[in-house]
Amino acid sequence: MTIAATITTLKTIVVGSSGIKTALINVPSALTVGQLPCAIIWPDRGTLNEHAVGLYRFIQTYIIRVYVKPIVQGANIDEGYQACFAPYSALANTLIKNLSLNNTVDEVRQPIRAIGPRGDFEWAGTTYHGFEFQLDVTEKTT
């Protein structure tokens, strides 16, 4: 599996989770209200080592950051946090029940790290309430 293929698989899994409207693997110039809650998925740090002669283990971290609701001046700040709870729980359950990413990788290593819900995720100059999951995915290559 390549990084691009793993990200595409993650996009399919994430958008299939209850409460997530859009999942993007490209870098948008802005997020629209119609896209929210919107997950943006990208690769982060990784390690590569020889597991056996001619067999290599690649452990890649993938970030799934979900932007739920923009923080608007004068609005009830608790609304944004409350809007995060259902999709956060649903995506956590979706991810923990699919540790092979639809049988496309060796494993998603446990524990899956989670951040959120919180109110300090920024995109294109706008601050959002949202949450994040960090997955360490193990793949073997030759």
Q: Are 91 and 23 in contact (CB under 8 A)?
A: no
Q: How far from 32 is each of 37, 38, 40, 51, 126, CA to CA, in Å?
A: 10, 9, 13, 44, 11
Is pTM beyond 0.75? Reply is yes
Among 61, 64, 52, which Cα is nearest to 140's? 52
Per residue of the chain (142 residues), what is the pLDDT tens digit? 688 889 999 999 999 999 999 999 888 999 999 999 999 999 999 988 887 787 788 899 999 999 999 988 666 777 888 999 999 999 999 999 999 999 989 999 999 999 989 989 999 999 999 999 999 999 877 6
Domains, the chain, ordered by start: 3-141 (3.30.2000.10)
Write down the pLDDT at residue 142.
61
How far is the C-alpha of 120 from the C-alpha of 131, rounded, in Å?
Answer: 9
